[in-house]
Amino acid sequence: MAPWLARASSQLARRAARRLLSAPPPSQHRLCPPGPWLLSSAPPVLGTSPLPAAGSGDSRGFCSVRRFTGESSAAAAAAVEEAENGLVAVGGDQAVDFPGGKVSFVAEMNFLPESQKERINCYRVLDDDGRTISGSRFQEVSKELALKMYSEMVTLQVMDTIFFEAQRQGRISFYITSHGEEAINIASAAALTIDDIVLPQYREPGVLLWRGFTLQEFANQCFGNKLDNGKGRQMPIHYGSNRLNYFTVSSPIATQLPHAVGAAYSLKMDKKDACAVTYVGDGGTSEGDFHAALNFAAVMEAPVIFFCRNNGWAISTPTSEQFRSDGAVIRGQAYGMRSIRVDGNDALAVYTAVHAAREMAIKEGRPILVEALTYRVGHHSTSDDSTKYRPVDEIEHWRTARDPISRYRKWVQGNGWWCDADESELRNNVRQELLKAIQVAERMPKPPLAELFTDVYDEIPSNLREQERLLRDTIKKHPADYPADVHI
């Protein structure tokens, strides 16, 4: 039984007992059939007169309201009874101690407005020219960390460009870029530890890159060869790594969010110095799993960070057609969790926000929602042409004037830690390494056909063995319809 319901029941029982003690002698009672009773009264007792009905003098329940103006003993006694009923005085007015906290009563009827007068502010450290904003407070980063963050942002950009070109050449079947969202990927990853569990959406390969996933491993997955962790069963960009605590990408939108809460709660039960981090796009916040996960996390006080990449578009659907709320950040408050809006194109702001969110999540055992405002400069995927629904000049503005890599480079270079020669060397090295990785991945054999049926059951059941036999027979009959490099 809920504590408040148990308390209310106990109060009703005490009131009923007091009334029985003050009732007239039994000889004066009349036997009456039991009548209906309200929650605001005690149930009738067999062999006694019915208790006063509602409106007949005393029908107060555990949520009733009374006001006393004197200091008489009667008023004091009534005040005690009100306290038992869960009522408290607040500045001369009344409030009810309802589940979740005290609620004051007012005489004026007011509806909450559909939105705040002003939008929630966005935390920022660097201006568009890469200079720290006067008075900004942020988590300090060392030269070594700052350069690693910049190098990985450039690596992610180069990797996306080359893999996108490989898809256009027909060498891989599908790809999704993170153009414009490199700061979100790398800076958020830099603020975590390897013990933190990551449940991604699909536009966070930079988090995996930061954790140590090699360019060769990325290429193996995209080409689906025998060294792919997923054994060729997943579409390209559906990365995963047990070694790096990175759950495998799943195509259905937002399904990873409730899973993240469960993972976070398990970390809390085991008293681990770690949290779960899960990513979702603005479109994912329109899914039921988003709301279920936030409520689940808030109630269970799970150490999980919900990171929303609000890039303005859910494929071709703009945020204006998705929701009327002030983005995603306000929803955290609605579910009772701390939230922050951050400039997603500001690497230092993202790093600082996630660093603080992680500390709160673990030390205080609470969920945190981070909304990063950014822009998806690239197409949604290689199956999309975003120029069909977005102005080209809008895309170009975000690609140039608001590019997160260029802004962060200005700050790094302004500190004397970077120069044009370093930039050319880095980009050339990454390009050469990735091209070599692609050549190796292309030549690598595909996983054996039998791997389609493994890793689900300890012993393969008869129905799957029958499916495997039928597949092999079909390939033998129609070999020209199947890739020659698939080992039967």
pLDDT tens-digit map of 201-244: 999 999 999 999 999 999 999 999 999 999 999 999 999 999 99
Give the C-alpha separation, 320 to 312, whole Å: 8
Name residue, tokens 């390939």: 475
Catalytic residue, chosen from 9, 165, 321, 424, is 165
Residue 381 annotated as catalytic: yes
Residue 88 bridge partners (DSSP): 95
Of 41-50, 269-278, 416-425, the range with the lowest mean pLDDT is 41-50
Catalytic residue, chosen from 181, 379, 380, 386, is 380
Over residues 73-100, mean pLDDT: 63
Catalytic residue, chosen from 259, 381, 423, 468, is 381
Q: Which of 196, 177, 233 is nearest to 382 (CA)?
A: 177
Catalytic residue, chosen from 251, 266, 383, 424, is 251
Single-letter residue type at 201? Q
- How high is the pLDDT of residue 487? 75
Give the C-alpha separation, 325 to 199, whole Å: 25
Residue 380 annotated as catalytic: yes
Residue pair 301/284 in contact (Cβ under 8 Å)? The answer is no
Q: How is the chain split into domains, by residue range?
A: 26-46+59-111, 143-443, 449-481
Give the C-alpha separation, 319 to 412, whole Å: 33
CA angle 226, 251, 451 (to 5 degrees): 25
**Dihedral over alpha carbons 317, 322, 326, 329 (to 10 degrees):** -90
Residue 71 reports pLDDT greater than 50: no
Cβ count near 324 (within 10 Å) = 9
Residue 165 annotated as catalytic: yes
CA angle 305, 307, 311 (to 5 degrees): 175
Over residues 442-464, mean pLDDT: 94
65 band by pLDDT with thresholds 50, 70 and 90: very low
pTM equals 0.81
* Tokens describing residue 61: 């329940």
Question: Which CATH class for the 143-443 domain?
Answer: alpha beta
Residue 480 reports pLDDT greater than 70: yes
